[in-house]
Structure 1
Amino acid sequence: MCVHPLVAWEQMAEWISLEELVVLGDSLMRRQRSFVPGGVRRFEEILETDLNFRGRKARMKAVSMPRSGTDSSQETRLRLLMERHGLTGAVVNMKTCDPVSGKVSYFDIAYPQYGFALEYHGRQHGLHETWTHDIDKVRFLFRQNMYVFGVKAEDMKKERKMNELLATIFTQISAPWLVGDE
């Protein structure tokens, strides 16, 4: 390592978009391997001490936006996209334990206050082990009266697909479904 990861993050503020600065910040605090122990507070400490780097204005906007414990850059981009559409308060990698199976699961982006979670499905979700685990996770949330929306790369790249997903989510939030109630 030639430079501390937070210094590299700080230096990139001049060169990349605000969204990508947040993606980079999240990637420094991954669930499996964090380069920044102490989370977002460490980002804030850097801003308090370093006043001379270019891109300070972008850093000031971005400093509170990264989240600890993320798993992928696409999940971060999805969370930011949801925020741009008014859905705030996301819980990143919400940990759950299914009392029936005993399995511990993490949901990519959860909105327990609205009764749903988002699961980004990259190529690894096609693997049999991942696929079966995903199905078990969906069943668990269903028993908790929560809904899971699967999101794929195409949904985030094509405006029409994203609008369809958002319409479905906002319909769910405004008229939640009830299990077994008729």
Structure 2
Amino acid sequence: MLRRCVEAQSKLRFPPVFCRMTALGLLEVELPRLMRCSGSDGDMRPERVVAGQNAHHALAGIHDVQWSGLIQTQVVADAVCCTTAECTWVMMAPVLSMLELVVLGDSMMRRDAALKRTSIAGFEQYLDQLRERCKRTKVKGFRACCKALKLIRENTDSSMESRVRVTLDQYGLGVPNVNHPVVHPITGRMLYLDMAYPELKIAVEYDGRFHADQWEADVERRRILDELGWDVIQVTAADMRTEGDRHALAMRVAQHIGIRLGRKVRVRAPLAVEQLADGRRAPEAAWKRWL
């Protein structure tokens, strides 16, 4: 991506500010699933942001994206300029579903410091600045991001973990903690669970690896968690393919919760992610009343 952007920049009189999918590539952020964008349908031209119609000049090999928001930038590899993670997140909102907007926000705040591009505080600060701009002009993506802010979480490791977390919330099972730390009381070894309901010592682990060299480490990890009394629910891509699969996953998690509580736990008809973001749900999962 960097090479393509440097090449595209060399053809322009003024250095561009690359945005949206191009910015995600430059920032090395995991790409979301698009609804629509210039980067879809085979159009892989670098995208640059322009503030208005007057700044737009059609150029072969460059796709202009007009946007009225606060254009916040950063330099990558001392070579090209792109929108920051926070700015890119808002610019991507019009071409993403609410779920994928949440997933993208998570992807920008990875637990791995080498992949972490911002924080919830960073998003909040940028949206506060953008709020002032919205008093004068409409900014596409602002409202959606304000809603998605309620659902994003820092320190995740993969986009599929984010999708699993939101699915469990949709079915009324509450939001599990992400990357929950567990310390072995004897060895002091620290383990991080993908998702956890710590009150019940239930872990939800997404396994998308299946590498032979990982198998032995996973067996040892599972043994330690078993010894510490954790109930580990393994989730794979097959559990997330269809709505029926996701419902079955929610039922399985509810069954594990019910066993811990000693009573039946029901799942509800799933809410749309937009409904979760709007706050149209109970403040906590119904089963927590029985703790």
Q: TM-score range by the shorter chain?
A: 0.7 to 0.9
Does structure 1 residue 149 correspond to structure 2 residue 218?
no
Report how far residue 110 of structure 1 moved: 0.9
**For the residues of structure 1 that align with 2:213 and 2:179, how far apart are their CA atoms?**
19
User: Equivalent of 1:55, from 114, 119, 141?
Assistant: 141
CA distance in structure 2 between the aligned counterparts of 1:129 and 1:119, rounded to whole angstroms? 18
Unaligned runs of 5+ in 2: 1-75, 77-81, 263-291
Maintained 8 Å contact 1:78/1:156: yes
Report the secondary structure of 1:175's partner residue. helix
2:92 is matched with which residue? 12
Contact 1:94 1:107 in 2 (8 A): yes
8 Å contact 1:29–1:69 — kept in the other structure?
Answer: yes
| TM-score, L = length of structure 2 | 0.55
How many angstroms does 1:77 deviate by? Answer: 0.6
Determine the C-alpha separation between the residues in 2 that align with 1:90 and 1:31.
Answer: 16
Q: Which runs of 5+ in 1 are unaligned?
A: none
Q: Over the residues paired in the alignment, what is the CA RMSD in angstroms?
A: 2.0
Inter-CA distance 82–177: structure 2 relative to 1 (3 Å threshold): closer
CA distance in 2, matches of 1:160, 1:12: 29
Aligned residue in 2 for 1:94: 180
Paired letter, 1:154: A
Q: Which residue is 2:198 aligned to?
A: 112
Pick from 26, 44, 47 the counterpart of residue 124 of structure 2: 44
Number of matched residues? 174
1:77 aligns with 2:163: yes
Alignment of 1:119-138 (within 5 A): 119-122=205-208, 124=209, 126-138=210-222
Contact preservation (8 Å) 1:109, 1:119:
yes
Which of 96, 103, 107 is 1:23 aligned to?
Answer: 103
The one of 66, 69, 93 equivalent to 2:152 is 66
TM-score normalised over the length of structure 1:
0.86
Task: Give percent identity, aligned residues only.
Answer: 33
2 CA distance for matches of 1:105 and 1:82?
Answer: 22
Q: Structure 2 CA distance, aligned partners of 1:102 and 1:139? A: 15
Looking at structure 1, the residues matched to 175 and 211 of structure 2 have their Cα atoms a distance apart, in angstroms, of 31
Q: CA deviation at 1:42?
A: 1.5
8 A contact 2:201–2:231 mirrored in 1: yes
- Largest Rg, 1 or 2: 2
Report if aligned partners of 2:193, 2:205 keep a CA contact under 8 Å in 1.
yes
